[in-house]
Amino acid sequence: MAKFIPVDPFDIVIFGGTGDLSRRKLLPALYHRWVDGQIPETSRIVGTARSELTTKEYREMAREACETASGKSWDAKAWKAFERLVEYVSIDATDPAADWPTLKSKLSSNSEHPCVFYLATSPRLYVGISEALGRAGLATPNARVVLEKPIGTDLESAREINDGVGAVFAERQVFRIDHYLGKETVQNLMVLRFANMLFEPLWSRNYIDHVQITVAEDLGLEGRADYYDKSGALRDMVQNHMLQLLCLTAMEPPNHLDDDDVRTEKIKVLNALTPISGDDAKRLTVRGQYKAGVRGDEPVKGYVDELSSDTESATETFVAIKAAVDNWRWAGVPFYLRTGKRLPYRHSDIVIQFKPTPHPLFGESNDAVNRLVIRLQPDEGVRLYVQIKEPGPGGLRVKSLPLNLSYAESFTVRYPDAYERLLMDVVRGNLSLFMRRDEVEAAWTWVDGLIEAWDRGGGAPELYAAGSNGPLAAAMMMDRDGRAWFEGK
C-alpha cells in the first residue's frame, strides 16, 4: 500500500481565502493532507481576503467547508488539531496601503520554510499581488507563487501576466496550476505508455487510427455567467485542460521525469500543432450553444436565458476540433477534441482508437476495433477493448468487450485528489506537473489563430438542446471521416 511521505514545514497564504475555490478545493485538500500525516504541525495556513473576519470566524467557515467535502470520513478530532494551523488576515489586495506587515507577522520567522502564495483570485490581480509581495519583502528565495487558470484571455494578456509576475519571482518559483494534471489517471497515462512494452511500440501513426479527447459537463453556468460569457468553451477548457491532455498523449518519452524534461516534450507537441485559420476553421471546428432542454427529468433553461442580461450572446458553450500534430510520430493521425456544457452526463475521456485488423477474418463489424479508454472522471479507470468470441452455439460471433481497471474497485483506500497532490508538489518545489511560461504562450498562439478565424468567418454557434450530445455538425464532422464519437459510459 502506498505511503504518504510528509513534506517539510511550510507556510501557505491563500489570496481569495473566502472564495469558492478555497472552500471547495484548497482548504479541504490541506485538511486531508493533514489527516494523512503529510503536513507538519509547525506549518501555517493563512487565508486572506477583503472580508472583515476574525480568525475564529474564518476557522468556522473552513470547518464547514472541510466537513462538507469529507462526508462520512469527517474526523472532528483531527479538525481540532488542524485548525490550530489556520489564521486569517483581512487584506484588500488592490489597495496599496493594505496591511502587509500583519500578514508577514503571521508567517514563520524561519527563512528555510517554503512560503507558498496561492492566488485564488481574478487573473487581473496576479501582477498587483506579486508586486505587493515584492515590496513587502515576502518574495524571498524560498517563496513560491501559484497561478490559477486562465493565464490571460489571449497571448498578449498572458505575456503581460507572465512579465509582471516574472519581474518579482523567478520562473522556478512560478507554479501555473492545471488541476487536470494532478488526476491519478492523467499521470497514469505516462506510466501506461512508458512502463509497458505492450503499448509504447504501438503508440504512433503505424497502429493508431485516431485519438479522441472529451471533457463533457452536464451542468450549465452555475453562477459563472459573468466570467463564462467573456470566455467561452475554447478559452475556458481547450486552451488549458484539453491541450495539456493532448500534450501528455502525444509527447515523446522524456529522458527523465524531472521538471523541465517533461515540460520540454510537451512544448514540442504544442509547437507541432497545425494552425487552424481561414476557411479551415469551418471544416475542422464546430461551435455550439445550448438552448432549453432537459437534464434527467427536469427542464432546464437555455444559455442565453441563464445570463443575467437580456442581450443575445454568441459565446460558444460547445467546441469540437479536428486537430493535427505535424511531426514524425503523428503525421496523418487526427486528434478530435470535444468539450461542452449541458451534455447528457459528466465525463472526461481520452480514447486511443487503434487501426482495424488488415483482414476481417471473422467478418467483424466496423465497431470491432481495439480501443484504450482512459476515464479521468467521474469514475477514474482504464479500459482496453478487445475482441472475443461470444459464447454459445450457432456460429462464431465476435464481440468487443473491455478489460477493466477501475480505481474505485482496485484501490480501496482513499487516495489524494488533484489539488491535494499538486499542493504537496508546490511545497516540494516539483514543477513537472505545472505549466512553463512558454507552454502557456504556445497554447495561446494556437488558440488565438482559431479565434481570429472564427471572428473573420462570422456566424453564430449552432444551437443544441440541453441534455443532447451537442450540435449535429460535430457528429457530421466525424461522419465525413468515417468515424464516430465514443459515447460509452
User: Would you please indicate which residues are annotated as catalytic (active-site) residues?
Assistant: 241
**373 three-class SS:** strand
β-strand partners of 387: 400
| Residue 375 half-sphere exposure toward CB, CA atoms < 13 A | 20
Q: Which amino acid is at 27?
A: L
- Cα(143)–Cα(426) distance, integer angstroms: 10
**What is the torsional sign of CA 29, 31, 36, 42?**
positive
- Cα(103)–Cα(180) distance, integer angstroms: 31
Residues whose CB falls within 8 Å of the CB of residue 134, separated by 6 or more in sequence, listed in order: 168
Closest to 266 measured CA to CA, from 438, 408, 414: 438
298-300 vs 293-295, strand pairing mode: antiparallel
DSSP 179-228: GGGGSHHHHHHHHHHHS-TTTGGG-STTTEEEEEEEEE-S---TT-HHHH
- Cα(359)–Cα(357) distance, integer angstroms: 6
Residues whose CB falls within 8 Å of the CB of residue 276, separated by 6 or more in sequence, listed in order: 284, 285, 321, 323, 446, 449, 450, 453
The answer to whether 173 and 203 are in contact (CB under 8 A) is: no
Q: Which three cell numbers stand for residue 128?
A: 498587483
- Cα(63)–Cα(273) distance, integer angstroms: 45
| DSSP class of 415 | -
Q: Which amino acid is at 204?
A: S
Beta strands in 60-165 (DSSP E): 86-90, 115-119, 143-148
β-strand partners of 46: 13, 87
